[in-house]
Amino acid sequence: MVWDFTEVNPLVDAAGDLTVSLRGIAKTIIGSTLPAVQGIVNQRDAVEAELPVNPIAVSTDPPYYDNIGYSDLSDFFYVWLRHSLARVYPSLLSTMLTPKVQELIASQHRHGNDRDKAKEFFELGFGKCFQRIQRGLIEDVPLTVFYAFRQSESDDDDEEHDLQTSATSSGWETMLEGLVKSGFTICGTWPIRTERGSRMRDFGSNALASSIVLVCRARAVDAPLATRKDFMTALRQELPNALKNLQQGNIAPVDLAQAAIGPGMSVFTRYAKSIESDGSPMTVRTALGIINQVLDEVLAEQEGELDADTRWALAWFDQYGAQEGPFGDAETFCKAKNTAINGLVEAGVVKAKGGKVQLTGRSQLPKGWDRLGTSG
């Protein structure tokens, strides 16, 4: 297993060592304005656990489908902890490796390499968990769901297709399906810039910069039905203002499509069902595709008659200005704007080197260059 690693001197008095880490924790505790109360922490199976009576807040950061198998990763550390601490914590370290059967991820190798069985296990567990939460919530308390699963999926494991080209994400689809079937409606979206740019996960990859917090409440028992046309009409009316609010809140342009899922699903989940022309209920997968289609329409209207390269340059400037940015973000913008980095480099608009991309300054443009691509 090769993934993140650390090579920090624990006594160097720098980020990541013992003293800096402990100092940060101590400052947080000492500087807290909250009243001193005794906390209670339980490690329980979320699928089986019931909420406490009258909770004051319910928040979850659910598993990201098949992205990360934390129990497999933890074995790297567990085997050494077991050697050193088995006599101190005999019950906690009684097994040879960490438990894995109940981990709620769609891991095919735990289901005989059967993709459908892994998906079914994940969906059933998600559904049970959200149903228990919905039953235990009181009226004034919403459920907040933190999610940063990149909304792309591919039929080929080695090739990714952006959702804005009508692909859909199994991670997002399954999580949202669980919310919808459990009787939740999405009533708010908070994009939060949570990811550190220097983390190893960002190196040479198209990783997200933000987490999306979905605010959910129980759907009204008398929620109306809607047709596909009703859903699309409401979406076209409400998504433009929702996008303006996201943009004014300084959401990273590279995360805009991710953040737009919230307002779009807010429209979809307010209805008991959206009915297709053949009378069948619209699936979450179809709704996600429609949301991204309307998102493209709204963004194209905002950008008027600009060509694809100019739309890319504007989005990049909004995100990075004249500074360098990661190649992965540039690729994301290219997919959204239907252009390519190679063409932008050949046109002299950008410089791309060493995994970094930067807009070419006016003084650095080729002699005789003009915006129409002609010399003179």
Is-above-0.75 flag for pTM? no
Distance CA 271, CA 105 (A): 29
346 and 229 belong to one structural domain: no
Assign 144 to helix, strand or coil: strand
Phi and psi at 225, nearest 5°, equal -85, 160
Sequence-ordered list of residues with C-beta below 8 angstroms from that of 53, at least 6 positions apart, any chain: none
Task: Note the pLDDT of residue 197.
Answer: 52
| Number of domains forming the structure of the chain | 2
Domain-located, residue 284: yes
Decide if 212 contacts 189 (C-beta within 8 A).
yes
Q: Does residue 73 fall inside a structural domain?
A: no
**Domain assignment present for 361:** yes
Do 283 and 148 share a structural domain? yes
Q: Which residues are registered as beta bridge partners of 357? A: 325, 352
Same domain, residue pair 283 and 349:
no
Calculate the alpha carbon distances from 233 to 103, 257, 286 in Å: 40, 19, 15
Ranges under pLDDT 70 in the chain: 1-6, 34, 148-171, 193-210, 249-255, 257, 302-305, 336, 366-376
Residue 99 included in any domain: no
pLDDT in tens, 34-85: 677 777 788 888 888 888 787 888 888 888 777 778 888 888 889 999 999 9
Q: Alpha-carbon dihedral of residues 324, 330, 336, 339, nearest 10 degrees?
A: 110
What is the per-residue pLDDT for 204? 44
- Output the pLDDT for position 233: 92
Q: Is residue 203 part of a domain?
A: yes
- Distance CA(100)–CA(74), nearest Å, equals 11
For the chain, the C-alpha Rg in angstroms (whole number) is: 24
Q: Is 272 exposed, middle or buried (0-12, 13-18, 19+ CB in 10 A)?
A: middle
Indicate if 288 and 159 belong to the same structural domain. Answer: yes
Residues 293 and 334 in one domain: no
Which one-letter DSSP state was computed for residue 155? Answer: S
CB burial of residue 81 (10 Å; 0-12, 13-18, 19+): middle
Domain that holds residue 282: 50-65+138-302
Do the bridges between strand 58-60 and strand 143-147 make them parallel or antiparallel, or are there none, so unpaired? Answer: parallel
How far apart, in whole angstroms, are the C-alpha atoms of residue 163 and residue 149? 12
Instruction: Give tens-digit pLDDT for 279-319.
Output: 899 988 888 888 888 887 887 776 666 777 887 887 787 77
Question: How far apart are the C-alpha atoms of 83 and 2, rounded to whole Å?
Answer: 22
